[in-house]
Structure 1
Amino acid sequence: MSDTTSDVCQDCGACCAHYRVSFYWGESDAHPGGTVPRRMTIPVTPHRIAMRGTEKSLARCIALEGEVGRHVGCTIYPLRSSTCREFAAYTPECDKARGAYGLAPLAEPALSP
């Protein structure tokens, strides 16, 4: 993630409060090599878990701090799941989550010469 992407994400957080964050159960710290704190997850299928709070219709990840659209942060950022690591700003999915909170789509950052 670039510094520009990191900055816009820390001022947003809409994806963390809009989508279910589910991933393979082996990413939990209950398993060797897993990092996501098990206490912050809930089972959704025999092989998948989700971040608590995102399994609800009004999703909000338990690890999200702050106010969506202002200043937010992930309390487990270095331990986050692959789903979170792979989610990208400046995509239709990002714009959809932002729109759900009344935020405008992100404009692509200008390339440096």
Structure 2
Amino acid sequence: MSDASPCTTCGACCAAFRVDFHPAELAGRAFAWAGGVPPALTVPVTAQLVRMHGTDTSPPRCAALSGEVGAQVACTIYDARPSPCREFDIHHDACARARARHGLPPLGLA
């Protein structure tokens, strides 16, 4: 049995939701971790809000997502991903909604 996260073969959340966060999480900022989110992958929304590029398109797809949703994916900035991505939980119904948008069944985790 594999210990791999189901997220490495899913990626539905990265291609289903808008990802907004505070500019303090950008690379070069004092509160950023692992170098911070590269500004080139974001779009400014307001002075207090930036958005991951691609997550406000139709259909949405985060610019940091590589691979095929539902097959094999990776976040190209995983260690520096923003807080909404860090807080996303596969046990939440938002995961099931994202998977449904891509024709994937819920994970059925206990």
Asked whether the two chains share a fold, i.e. TM above 0.5, the reply is yes
Report how far residue 7 of structure 1 moved.
1.6
Q: Please give the alpha-carbon distance, in whole angstroms, between the structure 2 residues aligned to 1:49 and 1:14.
A: 21
Report how far residue 20 of structure 1 moved.
0.6
The secondary structure found in structure 2 opposite 1:58 is: coil
Once the two structures are superposed, what CA deviation does each residue of 1:55-98 show, in whole Å capped at 9, x if it has no partner?
Answer: 21311000000000001000000010111000000211000000
Q: Please give the alpha-carbon distance, in whole angstroms, between the structure 2 residues aligned to 1:33 and 1:86.
A: 16
Specify the alignment match of 1:54 in structure 2.
55
% identical equivalent positions:
44
Report how far residue 45 of structure 1 moved.
2.2
**8 Å contact 1:30–1:38 — kept in the other structure?**
no
The secondary structure found in structure 2 opposite 1:53 is: coil
Alignment map for 1:1-113 (pairs within 5 Å): 7-34=5-32, 35-109=36-110
One-letter amino acid of the structure 2 residue matched with residue 8 of structure 1: P
Unaligned runs of 5+ in 1: none
Q: Please give the alpha-carbon distance, in whole angstroms, between the structure 2 residues aligned to 1:44 and 1:55.
A: 11
Q: TM-score, normalised by structure 2?
A: 0.89
Report how far residue 30 of structure 1 moved.
4.1
Unaligned runs of 5+ in 2: none
The secondary structure found in structure 2 opposite 1:94 is: helix
RMSD: 1.5
Q: Please give the alpha-carbon distance, in whole angstroms, between the structure 1 residues aligned to 2:54 and 2:88.
A: 18
Q: TM-score, normalised by structure 1?
A: 0.87
Q: Please give the alpha-carbon distance, in whole angstroms, between the structure 1 residues aligned to 2:28 and 2:60.
A: 24
Q: Please give the alpha-carbon distance, in whole angstroms, between the structure 1 residues aligned to 2:97 and 2:63.
A: 21
Q: Which runs of structure 1 show a deviation greater than 6 angstroms over 4 or more consecutive aligned residues?
A: none
One-letter amino acid of the structure 2 residue matched with residue 33 of structure 1: F
